[in-house]
Amino acid sequence: MHIHVLSVLPELLESPLQHSIMKRAQDKGILTVQVHHLRKWAVNEYGQIDDYQFGGGAGMVMMPEPLANAIEDLGKNKPFDEIIYLTPDGKTLNQSMANQLSLKENILLICGHYKGIDERIRQKYVTREISIGDYVLSGGELAAAVLIDAIGRIIPGVLNDETSALFDSFQDNLLAPPVYTRPSDWRGMKVPDILLSGDPKKIEDWRYDQAVERTEKRRPDLPK
């Protein structure tokens, strides 16, 4: 998979992409992430990529021309499967959406900044608008990092144990069951006997029951 990111502050994405699972995915050649500075496509020698709002109001707006030129240049050799704008008024990211996007081959992420991007770019180019929650960030870079991680970790071959992602929270609309490790008796608190039984079927059934119970208690809003 190849992910392109358009950003006004690309340095914000350096650390999330250069450590842990995302680094391993790129080192293996399974995932390629390229972060592009939008000012490369600025409208003038001063690096301008934003301007005042028509109709007045506080805050600048990212201009259409730099974004359009960047999108067209980057998609010239290989068209994008998705052009995604990270925005608070987009559809809230969930596991199902991440699963779908992990099957794509070439994605472009647009990180909003200031008061956002000119509406005409959204109408002409953007295929999906995604939010990571009902709050506002200073820019779309942190949201892009979250989306890249959510997508990248479930691409086959990224995790050492590929079955691990199948049992994450929100797969099958269930939260993950509780997990334990050594010692089996820690300060008088013991691991459930079933996990020490060595019976895979009983353990699987217990984990499913625990996942259902936890979901009903903590996230009754999730679809059944």
User: In the predicted model, is pLDDT for residue 51 greater than 90?
Assistant: yes
**Residue 50 confidence (pLDDT):** 97
What local confidence, expressed as pLDDT, does residue 223 receive?
A: 84
Q: What would the pLDDT profile of 187-220 be if each residue is shown by its tens digit?
A: 999 999 999 999 999 999 999 999 999 999 999 9
Q: What average pLDDT does this structure show over 16-27?
A: 92
Please compute the mean of the pLDDT values over residues 152-172 and round it to a whole number.
71
Whole-number Å distance between alpha carbons of 131 and 123: 17
H helices present in 60-155, as ranges: 64-74, 95-101, 119-124, 141-152
Predicted pLDDT of residue 169: 57
Q: Residue 67 in contact with residue 110, Cβ under 8 Å?
A: yes
Q: Which domains does the chain have, with CATH numbers?
A: 2-152 (3.40.1280.10), 169-218 (1.10.1270.20)
Give me the mean pLDDT over the 144-164 stretch.
85
Q: What is the pLDDT of residues 95-129, one digit of tens each?
A: 999 999 999 999 999 999 989 999 999 999 999 99
Q: For 147, left (φ over 0), alpha (ψ -120 to 50), or beta? A: alpha
Asked if residue 160 has pLDDT above 80, the reply is: no
Q: What is the mean pLDDT of residues 65-69?
A: 98
| pLDDT for residue 93 | 97
